[in-house]
């Protein structure tokens, strides 16, 4: 066991040298007003700039990908300007920040989409409910995308990456996890298409790989400023695959030639483990397949984060709820200080409460 590597060992991530291996995980916080990022969000992210890397909350690449109220987008000039407030604030504090590009797919509702049906690989409803301006509603059956429409969505991801570059981001992460559109194409429980985007794992991976190719092209064809997040064990919103090990092994192998900045792998959580038999653990298995930098996420604390790095099963560790409540999480880890406790009641509140008011040391 290599005990010299821990959360505070500097690491090279693409073209960036990070001072630590502590990543702030992407977390939906729903503080955007009219889907436009704002000064409050800039304060929130800047407070957490001591992370080796910040990955933003999921950010919609088009109006039809808005799965939640008050989530930010990256498809208008106003949104680009709003995100510029965020990137400037983080950079002033010496931080590095990637934008998470996202399309919700079937995890949306006409009440959030101007009356339009959500789109998905197949007309199969997700399992669950959403908050809308008219109250909490169950997910509806989406409209299956026509083959010719898929290229338009690939272009929306490419444009989103270009807009992120204009907004001053250091890179982007593709949201390929948690039952959203990319994940919906990958897994056969949600993709029952019969065209070139369905059926075999090669076909189900096609949309993701087209998006990766388009987005990496934004930065001169280099993948070193593009990451991707996958969740092979995810059961959120009724997701499943008949053979997740085979599906995601193919996907991860197919990503190797792109020389991505990183692969961000999600471990199973309590919901996944209680719903059906899933891959567990995830990270050590895909460590053997992915040739690049690997970030792991899944309820880690200081000691368990150090442990997985020392075993060389991952290169960085991302932290979610601990970063919500502890803007100075790296310093607290380093000094073994007491941690603030996150308050779930304010995770999605509309204001600064439970957002920018957690105390520093």
Which active-site residues does the annotation give?
A: 180
DSSP β-ladder status, 16-18 and 22-24: unpaired
Residue 81 Cα to chain centre, angstroms? 21
Distances (CA, A) of 329 to 24, 79, 238, 334: 9, 28, 33, 9
Residue 110 Cα to chain centre, angstroms? 24
The beta-strand segments (E) located in 192-307 are 226-230, 262-266, 294-297
Residue with tokens 């931080």: 95
Residue with tokens 């007491």: 338
Task: Determine the straight-line distance between the first and last CA of the chain, rounded to whole angstroms.
Answer: 33
Helical segments of 48-177, H only: 77-92, 147-166
Structure tokens at 39: 């000064």
Residue 183 Cα to chain centre, angstroms? 11
CB-based contact 188:247 (threshold 8 Å): yes
CB-based contact 90:46 (threshold 8 Å): yes
Report the half-sphere exposure of 233 (CA within 13 A, side-chain side).
23
Tell me the backbone φ, ψ of residue 331, rounded to 5 degrees. Answer: -65, -40
């Amino acid at each position: 066991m290599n005990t010299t590597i821990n959360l505070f060992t500097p690491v090279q991530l693409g073209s960036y040298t990070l001072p630590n291996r502590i990543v702030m995980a992407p977390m939906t916080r729903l503080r955007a007003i009219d889907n436009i990022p704002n000064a409050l969000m800039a304060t929130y992210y800047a407070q957490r700039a001591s992370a080796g890397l910040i990955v933003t909350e999921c950010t919609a690449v088009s109006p039809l990908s808005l799965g939640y109220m008050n989530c930010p987008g990256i498809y208008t000039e106003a949104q680009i300007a709003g995100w510029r407030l965020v990137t400037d604030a983080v950079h002033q504090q010496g931080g590095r920040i990637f934008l998470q590009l996202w399309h919700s797919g079937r995890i949306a509702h006409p009440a959030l989409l101007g009356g339009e049906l959500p789109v998905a690989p197949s007309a199969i409803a997700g399992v669950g409910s959403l908050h809308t301006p008219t109250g909490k509603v169950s997910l509806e059956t989406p409209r299956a995308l026509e083959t010719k429409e898929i290229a338009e969505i690939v272009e929306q991801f490419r444009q989103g990456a270009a807009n992120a570059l204009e907004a001053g981001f250091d890179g982007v992460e593709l949201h390929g996890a948690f039952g959203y559109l990319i994940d919906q194409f990958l897994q056969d429980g949600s993709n029952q298409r019969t065209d070139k985007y369905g059926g075999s794992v090669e076909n189900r991976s096609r949309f993701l790989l087209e998006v990766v190719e388009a987005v990496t092209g934004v930065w001169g064809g280099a993948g070193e400023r593009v990451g991707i997040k996958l969740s092979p064990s995810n059961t959120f919103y009724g997701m499943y695959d008949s053979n997740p090990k085979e599906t995601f092994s193919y996907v991860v192998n197919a990503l190797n030639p792109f020389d991505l900045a990183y692969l961000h792998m999600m471990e199973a959580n309590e919901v996944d483990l209680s719903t059906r038999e899933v891959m567990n653990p995830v990270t050590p298995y895909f460590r053997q397949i992915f040739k690049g930098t690997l970030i792991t996420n899944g309820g880690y604390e200081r000691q368990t984060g150090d442990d997985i790095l020392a075993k060389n099963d991952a290169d960085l560790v991302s932290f979610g709820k601990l970063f919500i409540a502890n803007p100075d999480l790296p310093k607290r880890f380093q000094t073994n200080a007491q941690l603030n406790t996150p308050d779930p009641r304010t995770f999605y509140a509309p204001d600064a409460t439970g957002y920018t008011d957690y105390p520093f040391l």
